[in-house]
Amino acid sequence: MPAALTQVGAYPLLGVGPLPNVDVAYPGEVWSHKRANGVIVPGSAVINVMVSGVECVRPIAADTIVDTGAGFRSQDISVAMRQIMTPDINPGSQYNPALGPNEIVNLPIADQDYLRTYYSGVLNLTLVVPNATYAPGDIIGWNASGTRPAGKASGTGAWDKMATSATGTGIFVVHTLPRYYGAANECILTVRFLRANN
């Protein structure tokens, strides 16, 4: 028997890095037959594209979202999630540590992999710009240059208040009070899609 046993609750959550980028709080419209066009970080805002006759989705970058005329609209935006949570068969080593379930669902979705896209429902987001004050009723959109919380995939792009997000990407409303963690004010946002009555 070990000399020292771990204590329950001895490891407080100090940030959202180890948590899934996105998970489903209440299901809505979901599609699972599409493929990634380019590498996609789970929890990112994506739009539909046709690539060689195959329906795919790609991350939103410097796209213009329009109200009328040709182009992408806010109802074309969805949230990407991994299609399958592949089990980690690696027992762990000093070179390749084993991954937990949250780390697996946060792995980038490779080009041409199948993925799930959510268009309605209620989601819990942690791929959210830290050091901001969020409140129920705030409109949340995709900020392609937004800072990601520590421990998330490298690069930029995160969900943010509409004032600093790309025009037309405000597809969420904050549903409940945010839960903040750590000194950087990282948070879990529970959000509803604006396009549905969920």
In-domain check, residue 89: yes
Spans of the chain below 50 pLDDT: 1, 198
Backbone Cα Rg of the chain: 18
Distances (CA, A) of 24 to 4, 42, 63, 93: 37, 12, 26, 32
What is the β-pairing status of strands 54-59 and 30-36? parallel
Give me the number of domains the chain comprises. 1
CA 86 to chain centre: 18
pTM across the whole model: 0.86
Please give the pLDDT value at position 47: 92
Residue 8 lies in a domain: no
pLDDT digits (tens, 9 = 90+) for 150-173: 999 999 999 999 988 888 889 999
170, with CB counted inside 10 A (0-12, 13-18, 19+), is buried
Q: What is the pLDDT of residues 24-40, one digit of tens each?
A: 999 889 988 899 999 99
- The domain in which residue 187 lies consists of 22-193
Q: Which ranges of 37-112 would DSSP assign to H, the alpha helix?
A: 101-105
Report yes or no on 141 lying in a domain: yes
Dihedral angle computed from the Cα positions of residues 71, 153, 175 and 78, in that order, rounded to the nearest 10 degrees:
30
Give residue 10's identity as a one-letter amino acid code.
A
Closest CA to 119 of 174, 62, 83, 74: 74
6, part of any domain = no
Residue 5, in any domain of the structure: no
For residue 14, the model assigns a pLDDT of 84
Nearest to 22 by CA among 105, 115, 136, 84: 105
pLDDT of residue 10: 60
Mean confidence (pLDDT) of the chain: 87
Residue 89, pLDDT score = 75
Instruction: Identify whether 123 is part of a domain.
Output: yes
